Amino acid sequence: MVFRLYRCTIIFAEILRKQDVFFISDKIYIKMDISMKSIEKIITKQLEEHKKSILKETERLLKEQEKSFTLIMSANLKIITDRLDTIEKDNNNNKSKIKNIEKDLNEIKDSLSFQENKTLENISHLKKYYDNQINTLYKKSIDLENRSRRNNLRIDGLKESPGESWDDCEKEVKKFFNNQLKISKEVVIERAHRIGQKKDNKPRTIVLKLLNFHDKNKILNSLTHLKGTGIYINEDFAQETIEHRRKLWEEVKKLRSEGKYAILKYDKIFSRDFKNTRFQK
């Protein structure tokens, strides 16, 4: 506001100068009359010119600022664009590298999968082979054990004397063969001893090893004399064979309970049904 009043004063003084205004003492003499209207008009004109000048200057400054701003923005935009281009390029390179890595990983996975399948297949073949070998050796070991017991017999229910020695046991067996089985011929016994721990007054099982296989058959053929005596004589086999034959005997008993004829011979069941049809298992 002060600036405007100051500016108007300067303009008014300029008008008075142009109109030849003289100052005499405290009075103003004017060569020609100047109306207030003309003064106002002149002031208005001067103000308009000044306003235009200010607007023009302002417009010029704004244009310069706009130009400077445009240049700055263009430079910044170029920098940003360049950076974005670099980022995009790096991103594309990374994508390409990732694809290559994924491809390599897939190839490695395929290779590992193939090797794994191949290894599992080999392991399966080896396991099957060694299982067969182990099973064969297992059967052979059982067969060898059974063969080593070929001349053996097991006697259950024969009275046991207190403090009985192996010699006493052998004498008791020979006496039993002579009196109970009616075997007059001397049976050669290599070894006779009891197995297991004593339980109450129940006699322990006697394992008998004979010298001759024929003596064993002679004894087995005389088992009818043991009926009702509570004494039992069986062949001596490996524990696995005994368990296997126990299961077979259970099946024989089941067939007999069904009214069929069934016997167990050399680990095989021979049976006849009602039509007298023979079959074996």
User: The sheet that has 232-235: what strands, in order across it?
Assistant: 189-195, 205-210, 152-156, 232-235
pLDDT of residue 281: 54
Q: Full-prediction pTM beyond 0.75?
A: no
Tell me the C-alpha to C-alpha distance, in Å, between residue 22 and each of 2, 10, 13, 92. 27, 16, 12, 87
Q: Show the 3-state SS of the chain.
A: CHHHHHHHHHHHHHHHHHCCEEEECCEEEECCCCCHHHHHHHHHHHHHHHHHHHHHHHHHHHHHHHHHHHHHHHHHHHHHHHHHHHHHHHHHHHHHHHHHHHHHHHHHHHHHHHHHHHHHHHHHHHHHHHHHHHHHHHHHHHHHHHHHCCCEEEEECCCCCCCCCHHHHHHHHHHHHHHCCCCCCCCCEEEEEEECCCECCECCEEEEEECCHHHHHHHHCCHHHHCCCCCEEEECCCHHHHHHHHHHHHHHHHHHHCCCEEEEECCEEEEECCCCCEEEC
Per-residue pLDDT of the chain in tens (281 residues, 90 and over written 9) = 444 545 555 555 555 555 444 444 444 444 444 567 777 778 888 888 888 888 888 888 888 888 888 888 888 888 988 888 899 899 999 999 999 999 999 999 888 888 989 999 999 999 999 999 999 999 999 999 989 999 999 999 999 888 889 999 999 999 999 888 888 778 889 999 999 888 878 899 999 999 999 999 999 998 888 888 899 999 898 889 889 888 998 999 999 898 888 888 877 888 887 555 555 55
CA 250, distance to chain mean position in Å, is 44
Instruction: Quote the pLDDT of residue 17.
Output: 53
